[in-house]
Amino acid sequence: MIDFVAFNLILDDIVLPDGRTAMAELGGGGAQTAFGMRLWSDSVGLVASVGPDFPQVWWQWLEAWGIDLQGVRQTEQPSLRAWQLLEYDGRRTQIWRVPPEALMAHLSRRIEWLPVAYRQARGFHLGVHPLEGGGEFVQNLGKLGGVISLEPFKPAECLPAQETVRHLVSQATIFSPNLEEAVSLFGPASPPVLLRQFLEAGATAVALRLGAQGALLAQQGRNELVHVPPVEVEVVDPIGAGNAFCGGFLVGWVETGDLVEAGLRGAVSASFLVTQVGMPRVPITTAREMANERLKQLRDRVTTLSFG
């Protein structure tokens, strides 16, 4: 049985603010989420769809990191690929480079495509449309019994009705937007106010990702917020850090049931994604040693605050 499951693979063609490029980097959220999980768990699987052009180097990376790949389907369509255009102010623009039929083939989700070994997983994390939610697929995933963790894969195009937000957060135990995504669901407000609004909408646990300011966490029945600062590392490329955070957070939540511990693991997982363009190249044994050291250093920097 696989304990934790992530979804999706995309090849990223990255353009940094200074014009430098990095082509065909492993992306899509799933690999980064699986990385974040794998730092803390020996049992991680990936569900995705790729084409015959998927680079061998990334198969080798996934295998070297011990990520189970029986959930990765191969189709005749080209692998998903997109431009990722980064700006100095932190904005990122994604532009698909594949035809619509490839998008349909690779982004479709069916519960029957989940390997039997994944169906008793303790936790699943995936990105969903902020206005549509995860639909029938997430509903069926929830019936399997594992903890569901969701993040919006982009900001909402328009301010949704509150019933839409309630439906979105009710699909998951953990909901983890970044600040822009959170504001798109409720309108402009401070992070503490946004977290209160998510809890009032019915969210069980919320991890609001704040980029260079770390993450602010809230939980039903808990009268204070938890601030987990970022690990102090040199930031080169932030792509995928949020996904890695979500993977680490989910494992921490499932294994300890503790909001602070989950946030710490999430922050440490994210710290590995920002120090280079693309996926970390360090071996898993080295990365785990580094992760445990970063966890110790970060623990003393966690603070609590009121909702305001």
- Asked if CATH classification 3.40.50.920 holds for the domain at 32-48+108-305, the reply, yes or no, is no
Q: What is the CA radius of gyration of the chain?
A: 18
Model confidence, pTM: 0.95
pLDDT (tens digit, 9 = 90+) per residue, 201-256?
999 999 999 999 999 999 999 999 999 999 999 998 888 999 999 999 999 999 99
- Identify the band that residue 107 occupies on the pLDDT scale cut at 50, 70 and 90: confident
Provide the residue count of the chain: 308
In whole angstroms, what is the distance from residue 159 CA to residue 50 CA? 34
Q: Which of 145-149, 199-203, 218-222, 304-308 has the lowest mean pLDDT?
A: 304-308
**139, pLDDT greater than 80:** yes
**How many other C-beta atoms can be found within 10 angstroms of the C-beta atom of residue 255?**
17
Structure tokens at 224: 């204070």
SS percent in the chain: helix, strand, coil, step 5 = 40, 25, 35
Domain coordinates in residue numbering, the chain: 32-48+108-305
